Amino acid sequence: MSPSPSAWTRVRGHSHSSDSEAGGAAPPKASLTARALATGILALQSLGAIYGDIGTSPLYVYTSIFPSSIPTERQTLGAASCIFWGFTIIVLAKYGVIVLLLGPNNGEGGQVALYAKLARTLHVGPRGVTLPGELEPDDKLLLTNTATHDSQISRVRHRVSGWFHETALPKVLMGLCFFGCSLVFSDGLLTPTTSVLSAIGGIAVAAPSLTDAVLPISCGVLIALFMAQQFGSGKLSTVFAPIVLLWLLAISVVGIINITKHPAIFRALSPSFAIEFLRDQGNVDILGGVMLSMTGVEAMFADVGHFGRLPVQLSLSCVVYPALMLAYLGQGAYIILDPASISNAFFLSIPGGINTPQYWFIFVLATLATVIASQALILGVFSILRQLIHIDCFPAFRVRHTSHHVFGQVYIPVVNYMLMIGVVLTTVGFQNSANVTAAYGLGISLDFFVTTTLVTLVLVYVYEVPWYLYMPFFLVFAALDMCFIVAGVRKVPDGAWFPLTVAIAFTCFITFWRWARSLKVDNEYDSRVRVGTVFDGLDKTVERNAETLVLGRSSTSRLFKDPDIEPATYPLNEIVYAPPSHRMAEDSVARSRTDGIQAQRSVEPLPLRLRSDPHIQLTRLAQVVALVHTNVAQTLHSPNTVPRILAHLLNVFPGLPEHVILLGNRVTDKPFVADDSRVDVHAMRNMPGFYRCVVRFGFMDSVHINHSHVREILGRIDAKAVKSVCHVIESERVYARRRAYDGNWRRILRVAGEYVRTFGIEQVFSPLDRVFEQKYVAEVDADDKSFEVRRLYVGSVVRL
């Protein structure tokens, strides 16, 4: 069992040019210099977007480890040793090296990236979804081929058999993915609350009379932060990065000053102090406070798509790690000299004491840095939700890309405001940072374990490393993760129930949405209408036109058969060609597309008849064009079918426009698409006046079919003197199937389950699905009166 080459070669960051340069001529020195400079700039920007959370942990870690006791020198050395080794092993080694090296998929991070990597390799992804990093067939080839998408990608996917791999493993992978994402969402509510309350709480240290103002100021700061997200992570990180860099330098200087007062703190670098400290405690509860020094590392992995792997690793190892270690060791040295300062170790350890210029300078930096700390989790939520939307596991909120150069920099307006409301309510509910830190940690430790499990599965199935390599990884890190989980579980009565409850609620919602979407996708596939079941006389058309109709088809068409599509009948003089190169393939496709359209125009169109009893003769409506908006997957990958919407329309109105264009949209991974390569049209085989069309958009483009696109399509099919263009759009209403049960002892449970199912589909899924249903038809140019534009919404009922 060996993975396909694409499973290895397509795992990369944003530097796509590295693959093409490998094995070729060495790039010029100027190019290397430019790339090094770009990497350095991204590394600096990552400070402002990723490390605010983990960089502000010194504000509250020691206070959380010793919440109600004054530590001895031995205990302080043990706590400092636990922080140093925990941070080094979990943050630097596990995440900074292993997870960032093996985890990203197509440049993206987080649990969705790990799931997509596994699902793509094992061929267990959601039906009808192109997974991130999966090789997509060329639209031009698909427009001229009869091979289907599923059959083509089956060659580059690695499939394993057996009950576990086919039934249990897909559910386990998806469940771990959903739960891990939900843990990040719950962390996204607590991290801004914890960070901002801790920073603003510094006011009460210097001016106790302002204690009551901490909560309203914190809420105001949080609202301002969320309102600024619309400017994009690139601009925000450019503004925030110097602040975080100055903050890290400041706490490093404070740490060095305190270390010089008690250099013996370096004894904490020996792991024996950590082991002795944990042994003396008699339990792992103390690890709940130690783990707070690592909060934000899961956001570092989720946000890797915003900047790339190498910049994130450089900023972590060269700036963040040494600065934080100096800060923690310096605080430990100060606590040893003044154990009573444990109540607010960070602010009291600032040289010179409170109400000094340096105190207020650090306080302002702490406030700004903690505001920025929230940025890491906000961007992590955006990244994960965008990936969930891509794999059809979350409602299709509008995603706005904020950078032309980095695909992963996104902003989701609705999610941003929903998250803002949730964070403000959480802040008001917990009141102060002490209450929040009691709830903090369990969700992060569970996320650590989910990531460890998924990375282990990636090692097993994607990279196929020997057992003696992946087993030590899992045993070591899973054991550490379980210690943190146990410590967090013991805090459930004190507030840790909150992130757990939020995570479970999010997991249930995402699971329900994916289940309902899978029912709808299955319904779409099962309801595909074969051409032969709609129109009568197509075989006679083929026989009469066999001498004049020329069709192009890739040589791979004979290798694949789609069991869901009726076998096709081909003319005797069919031309089959096998392009020797990609360039020749494009030329051949262009010729076949032109030949197919010209050949169809040269044949006298035979009247089509609906296959009914009796047969209904379809009249052609002259100078009328119908643009039937349909799923691009069905438009491209089901060449012998027509959308269900068209069959419904013909049953009601037995008239056929002169030109019927089955239209689909595709968003590419490029920021913009050139006008000359935006539209591809090809005549459908055996069906005069029918065409399949794909309109491509860049991720920075407005995804709407406007007047210029329509004019381009009409020009491609040489439609002259068009009087009317009608956009045909399907408007679906989703209902649950009603089932009847006979009376027995299980009837009550079945009826209750059926009621819950019906309520979920009709009252939750159906309204949301209609709200987020994409409508890609834009307004036309009012000054152009060359043809009339209409919209026709065809209603349909879908029962799941």
What pLDDT, on a 0 to 100 scale, did the predictor assign at position 26? 53
- Residue 32 belongs to some domain of the structure: no
CB under 8 Å, gap of 24 or more: what pairs does 454-458 form? Answer: 454/103, 454/111, 454/114, 454/115, 454/118, 454/173, 454/176, 454/177, 454/180, 455/98, 455/99, 455/102, 455/103, 455/114, 457/114, 457/118, 457/173, 458/102, 458/103, 458/114, 458/117, 458/118
Contacts of 231 (CB under 8 A, 6+ apart): 402
Return the H-helix or E-strand segment holding 282. Answer: none
Q: What angle do CA 334, 336, 340 make, to 5 degrees?
A: 85
Return the H-helix or E-strand segment holding 110. Answer: none
Of the segments 97-106, 288-297, 631-640, which one has the largest average pLDDT value?
97-106
CB atoms within 10 A of CB 720: 8
Of the segments 258-267, 429-438, 738-747, 765-774, which one has the largest average pLDDT value?
258-267
Of the segments 138-142, 362-366, 480-484, 652-656, which one has the largest average pLDDT value?
480-484
Tell me, yes or no, whether 475 and 607 share the same domain: no
What pLDDT, on a 0 to 100 scale, did the predictor assign at position 210? 67
Domain count, the chain: 2
Tell me, yes or no, whether 467 and 543 share the same domain: no
- Residue 130 belongs to some domain of the structure: no
Tell me, yes or no, whether 316 and 169 share the same domain: yes
The predicted-structure confidence for 146-189, as pLDDT tens digits, reads as follows: 444 444 444 334 455 667 777 788 889 999 999 999 988 888 78
Contacts of 110 (CB under 8 A, 6+ apart): 180, 181, 184, 301, 302, 380, 383, 384, 387
What pLDDT, on a 0 to 100 scale, did the predictor assign at position 748? 73
What pLDDT, on a 0 to 100 scale, did the predictor assign at position 560? 27
CA distance 410 to 388: 13
Burial status of residue 779 (CB atoms within 10 A of its CB: 0-12, 13-18, 19 or more) = exposed
Q: Are 635 and 601 in contact (CB under 8 A)?
A: no
Amino acid at 644: R
Whether residue 592 has pLDDT greater than 80? no
Mean pLDDT of 631-644: 67
Q: Which residue has the higher pLDDT, 636 or 51?
A: 51
Per-residue DSSP letters for 449-499?
Answer: HHHHHHHHHIIIIIS---HHHHHHHHHHHHHHHHHHHHHHHTTGGGTTHHH
Tell me, yes or no, whether 539 and 448 share the same domain: no
Whether residue 602 has pLDDT greater than 50? no
Q: pLDDT tier at 410 (50, 70, 90 boundaries)?
A: confident
Tell me, yes or no, whether 499 and 624 share the same domain: no
Tell me, yes or no, whether 182 and 296 share the same domain: yes
CA distance 798 to 618: 27
What pLDDT, on a 0 to 100 scale, did the predictor assign at position 160? 58
Contacts of 118 (CB under 8 A, 6+ apart): 124, 173, 454, 457, 458, 461, 462
CA distance 53 to 190: 11
Whether residue 540 has pLDDT greater than 90? no
Listed residue (74, 452, 368, 409) closest to 231, CA to CA = 409
Tell me, yes or no, whether 511 and 533 share the same domain: no
Q: Of 450, 482, 516, which residue constitutes the final position of a domain? A: 516
Tell me, yes or no, whether 345 and 246 share the same domain: yes
Mean pLDDT of 455-473: 92
Amino acid at 219: C
Whether residue 579 has pLDDT greater than 60? no
Give the least confident one: 147-156, 545-554, 621-630, 719-728.
545-554
Whether residue 590 has pLDDT greater than 50? no
- Residue 776 belongs to some domain of the structure: no
Strands 410-411 and 400-401: antiparallel
* % of the chain surpassing 90 pLDDT: 17
CB atoms within 10 A of CB 303: 32
229: phi > 0 → left, psi -120 to 50 → alpha, else beta; which? alpha
Contacts of 273 (CB under 8 A, 6+ apart): 74, 77, 78, 80, 81, 267
What pLDDT, on a 0 to 100 scale, did the predictor assign at position 314? 92
Mean pLDDT of 560-584: 32
CA distance 425 to 313: 35
Whether residue 388 has pLDDT greater than 70? yes
Tell me, yes or no, whether 251 and 343 share the same domain: yes
Task: Output the six-digit token pair for 541.
Answer: 């058309």
What pLDDT, on a 0 to 100 scale, did the predictor assign at position 185? 87
What pLDDT, on a 0 to 100 scale, did the predictor assign at position 9? 34
The predicted-structure confidence for 657-682, as pLDDT tens digits, reads as follows: 888 888 888 877 777 887 777 888 88
Q: Are 132 and 7 in contact (CB under 8 A)?
A: no
Tell me, yes or no, whether 483 and 539 share the same domain: no
Q: Of 727, 752, 783, which residue constitutes the final position of a domain? A: 727
Q: pLDDT tier at 619 (50, 70, 90 boundaries)?
A: confident
Whether residue 214 has pLDDT greater than 70? yes
Give the least confident one: 112-121, 275-284, 454-463.
275-284
According to DSSP, the residues that pair with 729 across neighbouring strands are 793
Tell me, yes or no, whether 512 and 538 share the same domain: no
- Residue 749 belongs to some domain of the structure: no
CA distance 52 to 374: 7
Whether residue 577 has pLDDT greater than 50? no
What pLDDT, on a 0 to 100 scale, did the predictor assign at position 509? 93
The predicted-structure confidence for 19-35, as pLDDT tens digits, reads as follows: 333 344 455 666 788 88
Instruction: Give the CATH number of the domain where residue 187 resides.
Output: 1.20.1740.10
Per-residue DSSP letters for 627-690?
Answer: EEE--HHHHHH-TTEE-HHHHHHHHHS-EEEEEEEEEEEEE-SSS---GGGSEEEEEPTT-TTE
614 cis-preceded (ω within 30 degrees of 0): yes
- Residue 128 belongs to some domain of the structure: no
What average pLDDT does the structure give for the chain? 76
Domain carrying residue 618: 529-727
- Residue 23 belongs to some domain of the structure: no
Tell me, yes or no, whether 188 and 298 share the same domain: yes
Of the segments 288-292, 504-508, 626-630, which one has the largest average pLDDT value?
504-508
Computed on alpha carbons and rounded to an integer, the radius of gyration of the chain in Å comes to 31
Q: Are 666 and 139 in contact (CB under 8 A)?
A: yes
- Residue 61 belongs to some domain of the structure: yes
- Residue 593 belongs to some domain of the structure: yes
Q: Of 727, 748, 768, which residue constitutes the final position of a domain? A: 727
Q: Are 174 and 514 in contact (CB under 8 A)?
A: yes
Mean pLDDT of 625-654: 71
